[in-house]
Structure 1
Amino acid sequence: MVRIQSHTPTIKAACNYNAEKSPEQVAFRDATESITWKKLDEYSRDAANGLLKYAAQGDRIAFLCESSVSYIVALIGAMKVGCIVSNLHTKTSTTLLEHCITQLQPKVLIVDKQFTEQVDQLSNEALQGVATVITIGESDQECSLEALYGTGSTEEPDVSLDGDDPAFIWWTSGSTGRPKGWCHTHWSLYIKGMKAIGRTGIDPNSRSLTSLSPSFGAWTNILLRTVIGCESAHFMRDWDPEQWLQTVDESNITHSGMVVTMWKDVLDQDLSRYDLTTLDMIYTTGEKIDTETLSQLRQQICENIYQTYGSTEMTGTTLYNDQMKGDRIKSIGKPQMGTELRIIEEDGAPEDKLEPGEVGEIIIRGPDVPAWAWRDSKRTRETFRNGWWYSKDLGYKDEEGYVYLEGRADSMIKSMGMKMMPAPIESVLTEHPSVEEAVVVGVNDEKYGERVTAVIQTQQQNLTAEDLNDWCLESNALADHKRPRSYHFIDEVEKTSSGKVDRNATREKIHTDE
């Protein structure tokens, strides 16, 4: 028998294909410039040959950048060299940034001009092994991205890439400690891109708009979808709801997604000034959507909306527009194509499946898993077992197979001998018209063991703990023992660099206030 050797695609190859089939189509656009697939191929090839002075195939190149056309040129250029690329969190402490750089040991660090002062604060130990720091934009640094161009070579670097070769290191947000790097191969990235195309239905005529930072896994999914699907992606460097509306109107945007908090910002604007009819689909990620916000988005922004659940490690579930009705709005949907999901006894074996309605740990298996935790084989073995990702998230399935997220296992509150998850309590509190966001944590207490404590984000100065206590007592969805025993009112909930609720920082703030 003769077996046909299949071709393993890479992101580098996909960019080359797009330059051949759609040379004059705009590939990426930011606030000041755009670039076609043909020019992206040319400029990234030029950048790749310039990077060869400092790095070779298999070396790491780290980026401390926000979205821009120049950044994309450098990123694709690095991948054409065969380097392993990694986006660092731009909104993090110097200590955590040094941790990530020390773990990566990059040969090249590419930074936006605005972050050069942050780089200047890094220790010599963290930068040990970094051959050069390249700046995007004018600065006092010795080397700029523009200086890489004009090498005179029109050939791509002579590298051979395989689907199993490491390509991209994604960093977690560090919500449960220091950020962890997960290494994805060219093959797993391609599968992620295909999954993204499958759930969005994009094609070469699609135009996406994102305000996410490159340090988010969700941003990289958009990059992959754009490159593999040959669509156009538009970048917003900083979040501005009015600018988002203006860009959708003027650029005929068809797809866009963001966290629920940002969608609420959009809904607060004067929408009558903008034409949003080109939007084919929008989505939410990072947090559950409430009924009122969903209704407003459908009426005022776009009728077609979906919600996703996933992580830096892998994508999980999708809840599509026609499924988002009734109590199912609280669901995170069903597993995406090619993905298996089980609810098992916490820390149990994959065979220890629970019945519908029983809360347990969510484990997921699929072809887009990372190859390993970067420089941490122990974590790789602990997090992935026989191909299954142990998420540490707790949830359950209903009789129809829809998945419901209860929260993190380490967020569980143990009060008066009873175990409870914050999510159902937070859901009841956020239904109050004066509550913008609620975070529920357990605080050490002599009487309760852990006292159920609610941190409330509100702009209503007359809202009191008594008001919310009465609200919880009147709710049929909340048992009395789960009712918060104390409340703290703040202007803004603590978030991680990726926009997730930072429960550790919230708990520390409570201790400080008390």
Structure 2
Amino acid sequence: MNLYQLFSFSTARYPDKLALVQDTRKWSYSRLSDEVDKVASSLHRLGLKQGDRVMVLLKNRIETVVVFWAVQKLGAIFAPINLRASTEEILYCVNDLETRFIIFEDASKHLILNQKFSERPLLIGLEDSLGDFSYGELVKKGTTNVEPFSEQDDDIAVILYTSGTSGKPKGVPRSHKNEYAATIAHIIHSHYHTFEKTLGIPSLSHTIGLRSLLAMTYLNGAYFPVQSFDTYHTLKLIVEEEISCLFLTPTMYHEIVNYPQANTFDFSSIHSIVYSGGPMPAKLISKCDELMNPDFFVNLYGSTEIFTLSINQDIRNKPGSCGKAGINGRLKLLKLNRLLESHFDWVTESGEVGVILVDISSPEAFKGYWNRPDATKKSINNGWYFTGDVGYLDKEGELQVVGRTDDMIISCGENIYPQEIEKVLIDHPSVKEVVVVGEDDERYGQIVTAFIVTDEQELTPQMLDYFCKMDERLPNYKRPRNYIFVKNIPKNSAGKILRRELRDGKYEEVL
């Protein structure tokens, strides 16, 4: 099944059900389908063909959803780009995609106007007079009789660019089968049901955002696109619209539960909350549970390349655990000393740390990076995808992620993983956020440095060091040797921590 079929089936099934809500606009599936047809017919008239790439530089809004489905109807490829990308990154992606169309808005015009493209795409502005054509013109001049293309399962539906912490972004082609399989898995893992309501806060340029839209469409649910995350606005929407499920990053949940009047809002409509994009500290899990009291609290460990790596369907039972492989997959751990050898030597002992590999035959898995055979060769080997993450299986066979291979700290010949230390320090009542990195040291090779965010001016390195000494989870050689208090932790737009910036001294220290 291709994605447009998913949409058309849902529209035929419940045409009058609520599909999209943004401010005062409330669209049914039938209303949405009419606008999709009009935009698709106009794009087709302008020359958009099957397989063409459409770069989308829009915030989460109704028009973004319309463009997504219109592109799918024509068999073209939806390529959403993060609006926080630099003009240099945008230009790279335009050329990498050989983009035929760019659809943008006033907030993103600075990224593309007056750029020198290798081959200039057709520019379509959301507002009038921004590009060669406006979105309004597409709707006004469109018709509702354009025939859908018959894409195959393995045809590319979407290209998402990874928000890496260094180097050029990599395009991840996602086929119709990939997206369909990932959506079904997400619905099952998250315990969703028909007519759900969710907030579309994560951008459609991130796999979390796209998954929420597709899951709601499959279930004839309502999707509430949110242009920018604001904690108070989010809390109001949850109450006023009786939102039933959430799929957000840990950073977003942190902002919600720490809002000063959060406990005055009614969360009784929510039955399922899911997070991905990074670990969630135990005390944040506890706060979310206390405030929202969901029936299901799911930790989804995943990636852009393969949506579901593993799933813990109730994180409250074992904070920190990533659970077991999802319904479409299989994962194994490769011994660290076998990384560069031709055959695999798997970790077999409980507790032994290894590199996390995922079976590439999963229907959720991509087949390789866009125009990057070098990166593909590095990431896929003998039918396995190298996540770059490091972890171990506990006694119950559940996955515990301890860090990334490139974040590993080697001090006095010992391998140390940042998350092992972060899990301890975040339990200190005065620590709001913590990130651990390796700092070069002439004597030890590297030493453990902890960057701390706190509101308590009285907190000292000595107090934190004593706290670590008293915690039996942390051997002495893993204790931080340096504590730096900072105003905030640098993150990218997906909420991923930019450890490299901390290592490079790009932070504001609190003296």
Is the structural similarity TM-score above 0.5? yes
User: Does the CA contact (< 8 Å) of 2:299 and 2:322 recur in 1?
Assistant: yes
2:254 is matched with 264
User: Does the CA contact (< 8 Å) of 1:190 and 1:228 recur in 2?
Assistant: no
After alignment, is 138-147 or 173-182 more displaced?
A: 138-147
- State which of 1, 12, 37 in structure 1 corresponds to 2:4: 12
Per the alignment, in what secondary structure is the counterpart of residue 401 of structure 2?
strand
2:353 is matched with 359
Q: Does 1:170 align with 2:166?
A: no
Query: Which aligned pairs between 1:31-430 and structure 2 lie closer than 5 A?
Result: 31-52=23-44, 53-120=46-113, 123-124=115-116, 127-138=117-128, 140-157=130-147, 159-269=149-259, 270-304=261-295, 305-314=297-306, 315-321=308-314, 324-325=316-317, 328-346=318-336, 347=339, 349-350=343-344, 352-365=346-359, 366-430=362-426
User: Does the CA contact (< 8 Å) of 1:11 and 1:227 recur in 2?
Assistant: no
| Offset of residue 512 of structure 1 | 9.8
Question: Which structure 1 segments of 5+ residues have no match?
Answer: 1-8
- Can you list the C-alpha shifts for 1:257-311, whole angstroms capped at 9, x where unaligned? 2222222222223234322211111122222222222222222212331111001
| Offset of residue 54 of structure 1 | 3.5
What amino acid is the match of 1:37?
A: Y
| Offset of residue 152 of structure 1 | 4.9
CA shift in 2, pair 1:31/1:139, >3 Å: farther
The alignment covers a number of residue pairs equal to 500
Cα distance in 1 between the residues matched to 2:266 and 2:127: 34
| Offset of residue 403 of structure 1 | 0.3
| Offset of residue 461 of structure 1 | 2.4
| Offset of residue 186 of structure 1 | 0.7
Give the TM-score, by structure 1 length: 0.93
- Can you list the C-alpha shifts for 1:204-241, whole angstroms capped at 9, x where unaligned? 32111231122211111112212222221112211112
- State which of 476, 492, 501 in structure 2 corresponds to 1:505: 501
| Offset of residue 442 of structure 1 | 1.0
| Offset of residue 171 of structure 1 | 1.2
Cα distance in 2 between the residues matched to 1:350 and 1:203: 41
Cα distance in 2 between the residues matched to 1:225 and 1:135: 28
Cα distance in 1 between the residues matched to 2:112 and 2:231: 30
Per the alignment, in what secondary structure is the counterpart of residue 195 of structure 1?
helix
1:492 is matched with 488
What amino acid is the match of 2:89?
A: L
User: Does the CA contact (< 8 Å) of 1:31 and 1:235 recur in 2?
Assistant: no
User: Does the CA contact (< 8 Å) of 1:14 and 1:227 recur in 2?
Assistant: yes
Per the alignment, in what secondary structure is the counterpart of residue 407 of structure 1?
strand
- Can you list the C-alpha shifts for 1:104-130, whole angstroms capped at 9, x where unaligned? 121001112211122226x31xx3334
What amino acid is the match of 1:62?
A: M
| Offset of residue 387 of structure 1 | 2.9
Cα distance in 2 between the residues matched to 1:511 and 1:415: 23
User: Does the CA contact (< 8 Å) of 2:172 and 2:369 recur in 1?
Assistant: yes
Q: Does 1:29 align with 2:21?
A: yes
Cα distance in 2 between the residues matched to 1:350 and 1:210: 41
What amino acid is the match of 1:60?
A: R
User: Does the CA contact (< 8 Å) of 2:324 and 2:399 recur in 1?
Assistant: yes
What amino acid is the match of 2:423?
A: S
Cα distance in 2 between the residues matched to 1:309 and 1:116: 34
User: Does the CA contact (< 8 Å) of 2:128 and 2:136 recur in 1?
Assistant: no
- Can you list the C-alpha shifts for 1:294-350, whole angstroms capped at 9, x where unaligned? 2222222123311110011112111112x632xx31211111102101111132645
Cα distance in 2 between the residues matched to 1:49 and 1:390: 41
What amino acid is the match of 1:63?
A: V
- The percent of aligned pairs where both chains have the same amino acid is 26
Question: Which structure 2 segments of 5+ residues have no match?
Answer: none
- Can you list the C-alpha shifts for 1:361-417, whole angstroms capped at 9, x where unaligned? 111122111132001122223212233211110001112210000100000011122
Q: Does 1:433 align with 2:426?
A: no
- Quote the RMSD (CA, aligned, Å): 2.0
